[in-house]
């Protein structure tokens, strides 16, 4: 099996690479590339994302044919794809970080700034928070409800269809922190930085 | 709910740990990777390396340390000390650091914070503030506490938030190394001035000081070095103690 981590200059992805290689050992081939033919021939794709919504969308669009290849992979061919952090946020139709930016439009919804309630909540939302599993997701196999995951973000994904939400976390409001829509998975938290439980989620994704 | 974080810090010089944990079962007590692994296995919420390598020719040793650590520890890793430029930040992130802390360079050239947070995202830019009390205010020191910039710490903290810092790592130079506790008055003043998380540092001598840093200093995270060295306290003990005092921690 071949799992491809999309390297589209979205910032620092070395932790994502390290964690997937740790879980995969020698059993699974982990590729790190933006090469379209390699993406097409992958079994699974990981879409990381750091920085702003706009900077990630811009970086994706900079690579000719990449969004189309990802669309073909996830929407037409329905092969498993995991978005992490801004990688998840980009599933939305639209994001409002920096300026209004069009997303991939795979899961209807928008990405808005977390309501800090006039300074009551610090932003970014940084640190370990518990996830409230609202729908059993394939990536939560053997992950207990209320497990701690590591978060770093100031914006939240608000999907229109609440049925795609697999977990929320409590920070100012119930923030959507995990989604599953058919073959498309996403986590707002960073499994690659969430210690053993995070590695378990990565293992679950690899084993789908 | 969001938990308060405990961050053990290791001083690294020429690629080796200075002080550090003195466990009998350590194969190599000077290896930062092994020590970081002990901390993360013990429940550390993040790991911090402070590179105190003085000579330029040994600067590259930290990159190797970060690279090896990031392959073993799957909690966030912050690296600081001697970070001067966008290029330095880029190299550390590429080696596997999740956040980089900028101290002197941020004072001398605040644009570094602006540019790096734009380029890499605020989530990986920590501004380290070394402050010392002078009368009724605190002033910013640079170069490991040797030079007084004369800048007001509160105003500077706000400016760094505006420049895109994701977090502030605030060290009281009056308390650092004293083991008499954080300067909670400095911490709480800065914490109320900014809307980004504050990591308290400098002066921890016992577990109650960690409690004070959060309860009185309003810090989101507490950083400590020496209490975790030589097995005086484990991270696990620290967390259980905070939990017993009603502070939300990840256990």
Tens digit of each residue's pLDDT (9 = 90 or more) over B167-176: 999 999 999 9
Catalytic residues of A, by residue number, are: 85, 190, 192
Which of A31, A34, A33, A8 is closest to A20 using CA atoms?
Answer: A31
Count of domains forming chain A: 1
For range B147-169, the mean pLDDT: 97
Q: At what angle do helices A14-24 and A195-206 cross, to 10 degrees?
A: 70
pLDDT surpasses 80 at B74 = yes
For range B141-161, the mean pLDDT: 94
| Segments forming the whole domain that contains residue A61 | 2-206
In angstroms, the CA A87 to CA B200 distance is 31
Separation of CA A94 from chain center: 16
Identify the residue with better confidence: A164 or B178: A164
Mean pLDDT, chain B, as a whole number?
93
Residue A106 makes CB contacts below 8 A (sequence gap 6+) with A71, A74, A75, A91, A181, A184
pLDDT at residue A58 in the model: 95
Residues B16-35: tens digit of each pLDDT: 988 655 555 556 668 899 99
Within 10 angstroms of residue A9's Cβ, the number of other Cβ atoms is 14
In angstroms, the CA A26 to CA B70 distance is 19
Q: With CB atoms and an 8 Å threshold, state whether B123 touches A170.
A: no
Instruction: Answer whether B3 touches A (CB < 8 Å).
Output: yes
- Band of residue B68 on the pLDDT scale cut at 50, 70, 90: very high
Query: DSSP state, A74?
Result: I
Q: Which residues of A touch B219 (CB under 8 A)?
A: none
Counts of helices then strands in chain B (DSSP H, E): 9, 11
> Of all helices (H) and strands (E), which one includes residue A102?
strand A101-102
Six token digits for residue A29: 């081939």
pLDDT at residue B230 in the model: 72
> Would you say B24 and B239 are in contact if contact means Cβ atoms under 8 Å apart?
no
Within 10 angstroms of residue B155's Cβ, the number of other Cβ atoms is 12
* ipTM surpasses 0.85: yes
pLDDT surpasses 60 at B214 = yes
User: The domain spanning residue A43 has which CATH number?
Assistant: 3.40.50.880
For range B48-69, the mean pLDDT: 89
Q: A54 vs chain B: nearest CA distance in angstroms?
A: 11
Q: A121 vs chain B: nearest CA distance in angstroms?
A: 8
Q: With CB atoms and an 8 Å threshold, state whether B76 touches A22.
A: no
Q: With CB atoms and an 8 Å threshold, state whether A128 touches B124.
A: no
Full set of structural domains in chain B with CATH: 7-244 (3.20.20.70)
The residues with which A160 forms a beta bridge, in sequence order, are none
Model confidence, pTM: 0.96
Q: Hey, which residues 56-115 in chain A have their CB within 8 Å of chain B?
A: none
Digitized pLDDT (tens) for each residue of chain A, 208 residues in all:
999 999 998 878 999 999 999 999 988 999 999 999 999 999 999 999 988 999 999 999 999 999 999 999 999 999 999 999 999 999 999 999 989 999 999 999 999 999 999 989 999 999 999 999 999 999 999 999 999 999 999 999 999 999 999 999 999 999 999 999 999 999 999 999 999 999 999 999 999 9
pLDDT at residue B21 in the model: 59
Residues B116-146: tens digit of each pLDDT: 998 899 999 999 999 999 999 999 999 888 8
Instruction: Answer whether B71 touches A (CB < 8 Å).
Output: yes
Question: Please, what sign has the CA dihedral across residues B148, B154, B159, B165?
Answer: positive
For range B72-86, the mean pLDDT: 95
Q: Which residues of B touch A152 (CB under 8 A)?
A: 76, 123, 166
Q: Chain A residue with minimal CA distance to B100? A: A12
Q: At what angle do helices B111-120 and B86-95 cross, to 10 degrees?
A: 40
Instruction: Answer whether B124 touches A (CB < 8 Å).
Output: yes
Torsion of CA B125, B204, B137, B100, to 10 degrees: -10
- The residue behind tokens 């009551």 is A120
Instruction: Answer whether A195 touches B (CB < 8 Å).
Output: yes
Q: Chain A residue with minimal CA distance to B39? A: A195
Q: Which of B1, B40, B74 comes nearest A192 by C-beta?
A: B74
Q: Chain B residue with minimal CA distance to A154? A: B123
Q: Hey, which residues 135-154 in chain A have their CB within 8 Å of chain B?
A: 148, 150-154
């Amino acid at each position: 099996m071949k799992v491809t981590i999309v390297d589209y200059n979205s910032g620092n992805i070395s932790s994502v690479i390290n964690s997937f290689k740790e879980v995969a050992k020698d059993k699974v081939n982990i590729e790190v590339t933006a090469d379209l033919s390699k993406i097409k021939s992958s079994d699974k794709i990981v879409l990381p994302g750091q920085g702003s919504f706009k900077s990630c969308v811009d970086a994706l669009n900079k690579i000719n044919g990449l969004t189309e290849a990802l669309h073909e992979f996830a929407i037409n061919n329905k092969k498993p794809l995991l978005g992490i952090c801004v990688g998840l946020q980009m599933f939305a139709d639209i994001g409002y970080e920096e300026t209004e930016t069009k997303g991939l439009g795979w899961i209807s919804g928008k990405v808005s700034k977390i309501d800090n309630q006039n300074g009551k909540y610090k932003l970014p939302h940084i640190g370990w928070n518990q996830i409230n599993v609202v729908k059993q997701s394939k990536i939560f196999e053997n992950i207990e409800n209320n497990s701690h995951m590591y978060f770093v973000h100031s914006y939240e994904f608000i999907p229109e269809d609440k049925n795609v939400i697999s977990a929320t976390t409590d920070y100012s409001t119930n923030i959507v922190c995990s989604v599953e829509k058919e073959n498309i998975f996403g986590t707002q938290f960073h499994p690659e930085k969430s210690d053993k439980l995070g590695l378990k989620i990565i293992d679950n994704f690899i084993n789908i | 709910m969001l938990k308060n974080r405990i961050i053990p810090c290791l001083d690294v010089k020429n690629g080796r740990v200075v002080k550090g944990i003195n466990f009998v079962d350590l194969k190599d007590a000077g290896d930062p990777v092994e020590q970081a692994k002990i901390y993360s296995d013990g429940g550390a919420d993040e790991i911090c390396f402070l590179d105190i390598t003085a000579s330029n020719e040994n600067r590259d040793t930290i990159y190797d340390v970060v690279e090896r650590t990031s392959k073993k520890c799957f909690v966030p890793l912050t690296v600081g000390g001697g970070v001067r430029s966008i290029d330095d930040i880029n190299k550390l992130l590429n080696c596997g650091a999740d956040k980089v802390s900028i101290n002197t360079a941020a004072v001398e050239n605040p644009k570094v914070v602006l540019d790096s947070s734009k380029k890499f995202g605020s989530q990986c830019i920590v501004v380290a503030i070394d402050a010392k009390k002078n009368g009724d205010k605190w002033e910013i020191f640079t170069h490991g506490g040797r030079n007084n910039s004369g800048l007001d710490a509160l105003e500077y903290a706000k400016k760094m938030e505006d420049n895109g810092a994701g977090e502030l790592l605030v060290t009281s130079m009056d308390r650092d190394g004293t083991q008499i506790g954080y300067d909670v008055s400095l911490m709480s003043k800065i914490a109320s001035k900014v809307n980004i998380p504050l990591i308290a540092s400098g002066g921890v001598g016992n577990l109650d000081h960690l409690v004070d840093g959060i309860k009185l200093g309003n810090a989101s995270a507490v950083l400590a070095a020496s209490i975790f060295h030589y097995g005086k306290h484990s991270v696990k003990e620290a967390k259980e103690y905070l939990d017993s005092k009603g502070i939300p921690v990840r256990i």
